[in-house]
Amino acid sequence: MAVKLRLMRMGKKKQPTYRVVAADSRSPRNGRFIEIVGTYDPRQDPSLIKIDNERAVHWLNHGAQPSERVAKLLKISGAWESFTGESPAPAVTVAGSAQTEPVVADEPAAEAAVADEPAAEAAVADEPAAEAAVADETAAEEAGAET
């Protein structure tokens, strides 16, 4: 029997929630399943993902094939890393903040962005002059329209 880890739609019309289930690949989407592995609610902000990683890894070890969406959910929950033995992508903490960001190691570009900050401040300083030029142009157009 070919087992798949896939989503089973639940909820009302236009208000979907999903169950992550282990099911026979021949059964219909909302048909018979073997076991409920977790839930997924995409309507919340951020999306709510609850997956029993132990059971998901069990099914993956026994040959279950995840659908594309379930594979993404397993990567988010950490079950995929447990199955493959890979470590998750390293996160970098930014000094002075509690946020973590993925590593984007292009330091010369970051230094160039820091070097361009005075130019950005100068552009902000030129904005009132630009607004005055636009006001002069509209005044000239209105005067031309009156004659």
- Residue 21 sits in a domain of what CATH number? 3.30.1320.10
Total number of domains constituting the chain: 2
Separation in Å, CA 4 to CA 26, 38, 67, 84: 9, 14, 7, 17
What's the angle, vertex CA 93, arms to CA 90 and CA 96, rounded to 5? Answer: 175
Tell me how far apart the alpha carbons of residues 53 and 16 are, in angstroms, rounded to a whole number.
Answer: 23
Cα atoms in the 13 Å half-sphere on the side-chain side of 23: 19
Residue 90 near residue 81, CB atoms below 8 Å: no
Last residue within a domain, chosen from 38, 55, 88: 88
* 76 and 18 fall within a common domain: yes
Q: Which residue segment(s) compose the domain that 18 sits in?
A: 3-88
What percent of the chain clears pLDDT 90, i.e. is strictly above it?
39
* 19 and 70 fall within a common domain: yes
* 57 and 129 fall within a common domain: no
Tell me how far apart the alpha carbons of residues 78 and 64 are, in angstroms, rounded to a whole number.
Answer: 17
More confident call, 144 vs 14: 14
Tell me how far apart the alpha carbons of residues 56 and 66 are, in angstroms, rounded to a whole number.
Answer: 10
pLDDT band for 5, please (50, 70, 90 cuts): very high
In a domain, 20, yes or no: yes
* 58 and 20 fall within a common domain: yes
Rounded to the nearest 10 degrees, the angle between the axes of helix 107-115 and helix 117-125 is 30
Residue 79 near residue 42, CB atoms below 8 Å: no
pLDDT digits (tens, 9 = 90+) for 53-97: 999 999 999 999 999 999 999 999 998 998 888 765 554 444 443
pLDDT band for 38, please (50, 70, 90 cuts): very high
Identity of the amino acid at 132: A
Residue 109 CB contacts under 8 Å (≥ 6 apart), including other chains:
none
* 75 and 32 fall within a common domain: yes
* 84 and 109 fall within a common domain: no
* 74 and 128 fall within a common domain: no
Rounded to the nearest 10 degrees, the angle between the axes of helix 68-77 and helix 53-61 is 130
